Amino acid sequence: MTPLKNQLTWLLAALAGVSLSTTLEAQSAAHDSVPDYVLEGLTVTTTRTSADRTRIPQKIEVISRTQLERSSATNVSEALRELAAIDIIEFPGLLSGVSVRGFRPQYSGTNPRTLVLVDGRPAGTNNLTLLPLSNVERIEILRGPASALYGSSAMGGVINVITRRSTAAIAGRLTGAYGSFDSYETGLSVGGTIGSGFDFNLSGTLLGQGSSYTTGSNRTFGGDSLRRTANGVVTHVPSIGRDSSISFTEYQSRSGAGRVGYSFADGWRVDVSGERYQSDDVENPGDINASYDSRSLKDVSRTSVDALVTGAFARALPTLRIFHTNEETDYFRSPEPPTYVSFSTPVRTEGLQLQTVFGAGPHDVIVGADYISAEARSLSFNEDGTPGTLYSPDSEIRSTALFGQARLGLLGERLIVSGGARLDRVAFETFETPNLTGFTPGTERNIVVSPNIGVRFNATPQIGVYGNYGRAFVTPEAFNVAGYSESRAGTRDAVRLTRGNADLDPERSTTFDAGGVWSSPATGLQVEVTYFDTNVEGRITSQLLPSTGVTLTAAGDTILSTTTYVNVDEARIRGLEGSFSFSPRALQGLRLHASATGILEGEERVGSAGTWQRIKNVADLTVVGGLTYQPAERLDVGISGRYVGERVDSDYVTFFGEILYPEYLVLDASLGTRLSSRYRLGMELRNLTDEDYFEVRGYNLPGRSVRLVGSVEL
């Protein structure tokens, strides 16, 4: 363990010794003036109801609008990397994955282990680079299981992106930026009330990067990757790509969002919104370690529409939401012309959420029903545009669910007890797919029950402790349950079968966490720590069935082998989450903050007889923190950093064994001045120490860069 990592570990332990707490960062723009150490009045919505943070037993942290505007982030992925101590992996070419509490980051598929929402509904994507910040009000992060509220995928936690809803006088902002590597950004956002009960929001962003960037030239910790082969031999893997020019990195994205709301009766309103993201000819330089041309070219798009009706009568608050999202990635056959789209992966997510909140004094109950459908398709094309050969079928996962949650305020609302459960009926279906031979469609169903219970005790307005227990699940891919395909062995009348398992269960987890908060209004100090313990059972893996002699298919072909899917893998994860913020009374305008996640145990076992191995792409310690200082109304400065400890990944060069990534530290700084009440100019310095680092080996990220930014209040 390096000296710095040792110090950081002791710091996290010291925070645990000081107090137990829950992260309570400044919330939305309306609450940014509230000091960090004030616990009351901070409202979150990721629990499917709008509630004061002190009434929620689960751990929720919030990235406010002010924090987003002061950061150098341009999309949700970058914002989480800079402002939250969670695991993120990012590739050049607009692709990233995220996870909470020790699960492996995922950036594709329909069954991630961290659920991403937009305004409380499924985002329809796991790639958070496709979510720009121009229309984002705040980001809420619920850590821990939430399947009792949202169903599948809410195993490690929930990331809820809250968009803007302006109901005051019309106001707007025009922004622009230009920086190193020919990066640029222009954006416009406007919103407010337009009379007769109508209000609206509009935003648009143009964002891009040039054809090359330079990687960093320094390694803060000087370490190399370590390759560990299957027989235990360990070798050093020298750094490749340090202080290099990485070409084929150009992209340009266009995004827009709009919302119109109408209050048509006392307490009743309807909001209709839509989003569109498009980026064509996105260049990915590929793995710099590869001995072949690994560059790729793609188009990516995301479209969503949403209709929301909210109301109030007596003590009930009903809500109805209908949503539809489509994400599509088109991959080109070659990165250089002449080229054509050879493969496309459209994913459609749509559904309905219906719920009612009943309130009775300090108590409230929420009941509701959800319907969610996620359809994944694969399209293949030849050079002349005709359909090409496919290797996976079109499929759909449909979930119909009923849920209920109760929250009781006892002992003068100092003791909060919550609990509930959700019943999901999940249907898996594979469809007849053109140009996919040897495949038979199928349908299967599962029933899943997900309970949770939590307790929070607020001893004083400044001290609170809590505990929470919950079960969560992740559905298998539809093909794992209802699939059937044949792979012909050469020209012989013999095939290898892959068959879904109708008895396959969803992957399940149980999690216990405990934490609390201590704050001091006199000193402006807040400290927190949370312990969590997760066990995952029934993880899904493929299994080769033993041969039973000569067996024939219905067509008379000899079956050489049969592969199916079983629930045998498992995982166990334990860790600590800690944070503090300090706003000294003696120095107005100064704020220090930091948060950390340390994994005490993060292992998975593949197969019932397999050995335990570290979970891939999860750092043993992640720390983010910074300092902001606004000594005068027209001047603000800030510095922030992100430390990522050692991680293990599969060795994609030799294709066996694993590789241990070195730790890294990246620092950013910003300086801003307000020329008047309307005009602001600023400068952002990214990667100050010119760190050579990567989140996946071979995909080194940019070195030191500078960006000039400006904004005009409309």
State how far the Cα of 467 lies from the Cα of 458, in Å rounded to an integer. 12
- Looking at the predicted structure, is the pLDDT value of residue 228 above 80? no
515, amino acid identity: G
- At residue 565, the pLDDT reads 86
- Residue indicated by tokens 């072909």: 557
Are the beta carbons of 573 and 101 closer than 8 angstroms? yes
pLDDT of 630-656, one tens digit each? 888 889 999 999 999 999 988 766 656
- At residue 491, the pLDDT reads 53
Are the beta carbons of 72 and 83 closer than 8 angstroms? no
- Tell me the pLDDT band of 483, cut-offs 50, 70 and 90: confident
pLDDT of 27-61, one tens digit each? 333 333 333 333 444 678 888 888 888 888 989 99
pLDDT, mean of residues 588-593:
90
Q: Strand, helix or coil at 631?
A: strand
pLDDT, mean of residues 248-275:
95
- Looking at the predicted structure, is the pLDDT value of residue 2 above 60? no
Lowest mean pLDDT among 4-8, 277-281, 503-507: 4-8
Q: Which of these, 173, 251, 169, lies nearest to 209 by C-alpha position?
A: 251
State how far the Cα of 86 lies from the Cα of 65, in Å rounded to an integer. 19
pLDDT, mean of residues 177-190:
96
pLDDT of 282-319, one tens digit each? 999 998 888 888 899 999 999 999 999 999 988 899 99
- At residue 3, the pLDDT reads 42
State how far the Cα of 432 lies from the Cα of 273, in Å rounded to an integer. 34
- Residue indicated by tokens 């043993």: 620
- Tell me the pLDDT band of 390, cut-offs 50, 70 and 90: confident
Q: Strand, helix or coil at 10?
A: helix
Phi first, then psi: give them for residue 530, nearest 5 degrees. -140, 140
Q: Which residues lie across from 299 on neighbouring strands?
A: 330
- Tell me the pLDDT band of 486, cut-offs 50, 70 and 90: confident
Q: Strand, helix or coil at 129?
A: helix
Question: What's the angle, vertex CA 693, arms to CA 687 and CA 699, rounded to 5?
Answer: 120
- Tell me the pLDDT band of 357, cut-offs 50, 70 and 90: very high
- At residue 238, the pLDDT reads 76
- Tell me the pLDDT band of 231, cut-offs 50, 70 and 90: low
Lowest mean pLDDT among 49-53, 150-154, 315-319, 672-676: 49-53
State how far the Cα of 380 lies from the Cα of 684, in Å rounded to an integer. 43
Which pair of tokens denotes residue 287? Answer: 């793995």
- Tell me the pLDDT band of 548, cut-offs 50, 70 and 90: low
Q: Which of these, 518, 669, 667, lies nearest to 580 by C-alpha position?
A: 518
- Looking at the predicted structure, is the pLDDT value of residue 13 above 60? no
Instruction: Count Cβ atoms below 10 Å from residue 247 Cβ, excluding itself.
Output: 13
- Looking at the predicted structure, is the pLDDT value of residue 265 above 60? yes
- Looking at the predicted structure, is the pLDDT value of residue 12 above 50? no
State how far the Cα of 20 lies from the Cα of 683, in Å rounded to an integer. 37
Mean per-residue pLDDT over the chain, rounded: 87
Instruction: Count Cβ atoms below 10 Å from residue 82 Cβ, excluding itself.
Output: 23
State how far the Cα of 411 lies from the Cα of 414, in Å rounded to an integer. 6
Question: Model-level pTM?
Answer: 0.90
Determine what percent of the chain is predicted with pLDDT higher than 70.
Answer: 90
- Looking at the predicted structure, is the pLDDT value of residue 21 above 50? no
Q: Is 413 exposed, middle or buried, given 0-12, 13-18 or 19+ CB atoms closer than 10 A?
A: middle
Are the beta carbons of 623 and 596 closer than 8 angstroms? yes
Query: What region does 181 belong to: left with phi over 0, alpha with psi -120 to 50, or beta?
Result: left
pLDDT, mean of residues 12-16:
37
Q: Which of these, 38, 163, 95, lies nearest to 521 by C-alpha position?
A: 38
pLDDT, mean of residues 327-354:
93
- Looking at the predicted structure, is the pLDDT value of residue 152 above 80? yes
State how far the Cα of 595 lies from the Cα of 61, in Å rounded to an integer. 11
pLDDT, mean of residues 533-537:
95
State how far the Cα of 221 lies from the Cα of 147, in Å rounded to an integer. 40
- Tell me the pLDDT band of 623, cut-offs 50, 70 and 90: very high
406, amino acid identity: A
- Tell me the pLDDT band of 70, cut-offs 50, 70 and 90: confident
Q: Which residues lie across from 395 on neighbouring strands?
A: 376, 430
Q: How far is Cα of residue 307 from the mean position of the Cα atoms in its chain? A: 23
State how far the Cα of 406 lies from the Cα of 48, in Å rounded to an integer. 12
Instruction: Count Cβ atoms below 10 Å from residue 329 Cβ, excluding itself.
Output: 20
Tell me 150's DSSP state: H
- Tell me the pLDDT band of 490, cut-offs 50, 70 and 90: low
pLDDT of 311-335, one tens digit each? 998 889 999 999 999 999 999 999 8
State how far the Cα of 491 lies from the Cα of 495, in Å rounded to an integer. 10
DSSP secondary structure string for all residues of 176-226 = EEEEGGGEEEEEEEEEEEEETTEEEEEEEEEEEE-SEEEB--B-SS-PPEE
- Looking at the predicted structure, is the pLDDT value of residue 279 above 80? yes
- At residue 289, the pLDDT reads 82
Q: Strand, helix or coil at 154?
A: coil
